[in-house]
Chain A
């Protein structure tokens, strides 16, 4: 007695493997995905926007440095600029651009189909894309922080504030990147949604309502910075604990990969046919 199902599977296998297939290589897949992401991200508009955001805190720093002793306490100045211009503005917007550019464009033009109709595990695709956005965001944010710090205090780094924020924005950048990569996979208007989130949630609500501190990437970033510096500026006290912040960031990272992989099983493709 032959099992019909078994026969069907054997039939498929007999005809399917004229080209030998093996396990998918993570390195090759990552290379493909990063190249695709890079091509979608390195566009004139995004490059100009990222450059402007990168230079913004440094311009403030140049003004501060040009006024010499009249400018006041450099640590206080740096903490405020790092918080307002990097943690709440540059880092999330870097992450938004890097996290949404590839998936949003691919879903819109339908080329996402070529990624999801492969044997590559979906979570690999999401993980590589999250890491691409996280590394890019962390790199750009770290340059913004360290460049600003060097302009204001040279290489002295009083109270280790620049070092603390450099490390903190790496973590904050990864959390933002995870969040926005997931947003790109789940909504059609990821860029608009992300900007509203940055302006309203992180820009207004997270600083107004203490209860939201535990759900704010900006506050997690500040909590990490606070744990690494001796500075006691207002924004560095009263936020969530370091543990809560690390758990929050890790949760966002894991959730983005899990939910992102799930959404890639039924990809949100704009019209691919009629």
Chain B
């Protein structure tokens, strides 16, 4: 009985999936499942995220292994798109069409019965209803993202694959999209969204898959993963009006492990980046120094991934 329930909750399943383009391995022996909720697919550019999403959408056939959408291969035929929608990373849209016409075209080709009603709902959902009759060719990047999302959600699919959906969105639109996705999840939708920016995913995904060079480097609950990522010391470079004085002041900050003076400023290793960030300004103020720059030098996702893989 528990097995049945587990299978029923699984919208998407990868089983030892590999895919390569010529000699380049894009996806390497990935096994994981995606169920109801928001799953973040995290990885640097070129990690194979888009390839994995295309495999999930049935646009590519895995070279080995199996992909299943609700238990069946997504390559079986176009009927899979009754349940699945893919929002690609590319912004290109049919420039000469209005947002309404574009979403209506998708709805018609998906067999939506009440095209007008569904289009109105989808456009209102992404807050494009007031500009729905403008040509998408004149849209900003953020508006294009929302038009793509409206086209994907017009038939209310139960599995939504989003490739870098937050590109080009301003903070307010980003929050709106997160809320929108959460609403969809509350109605039972499974969402797999990719990003190369950790902060984009951490606010919205309750589960994370981390890809690196085509491999699944880590997967699981966001908090567990985040703990793993923050387990290592952070390196921060600080430049000020008097680096020597600043170095001596920073040595007194509890979270600081080491301080090094270099030609580019003070290089600090700290166990708690947030605590250090809170402490650096008061320290500078105490020493009557002017801070020119505070920069985390190892905050790149690649670095974190490398750390995860090394573990």
Contacts and interface: CB of A to CB of B under 8 A. Distances in A.
A12 B158 contact: yes
A8 interface: yes
Contacts of B174: none
Interface string B41-55: 000011101110110
Interface stretch (B77-85, B235-243, B266-274, B281-289): B77-85
B109 A29 contact: yes
A29 B19 CA distance: 33
Contact of B70 (A8, A114, A122, A271): A8
A273 B151 CA distance: 18
A141 B54 CA distance: 41
A8 B78 contact: no
Nearest to B7: A4
B10 interface: yes
Nearest to B13: A8
B8 interface: yes
B88 A272 contact: yes
* Chain A: interface size category: 35 or more
Interface string A7-21: 111111111111111
A15 B10 CA distance: 13
Interface residues of B, number: 68
Interface stretch (A150-158, A168-176, A178-186, A261-269): A261-269
Interface string B154-192: 111111000110000000000000000000000111000
Contact of B96 (A4, A12, A39): A39
Interface in A1-36: 2-5, 7-25, 28-29, 31-32, 35-36
B3 A18 contact: no
Contact of B4 (A7, A14, A16, A122): A7
Interface string A235-274: 0000000000000000000000000000001110101111
A167 B188 CA distance: 58
B110 A21 contact: yes
B78 A273 contact: no
Interface of B: 1, 3-5, 7-11, 45-47, 49-51, 53-54, 57, 59-61, 69-72, 75, 78-79, 81-86, 88-90, 92-94, 96-97, 101-102, 105-106, 108-115, 118, 151, 154-159, 163-164, 187-189, 194
Given A8-B71, A36-B105, A39-B94, 10 more contacts: A2-B4, A3-B4, A4-B7, A16-B158, A36-B97, A115-B109, A118-B78, A119-B82, A119-B111, A273-B54
25 contacts: A4-B4, A5-B7, A7-B8, A8-B8, A8-B10, A11-B8, A11-B70, A12-B69, A15-B83, A15-B158, A19-B114, A20-B113, A28-B109, A35-B97, A110-B88, A113-B86, A114-B93, A117-B81, A117-B84, A117-B85, A120-B111, A266-B59, A266-B61, A274-B46, A274-B49
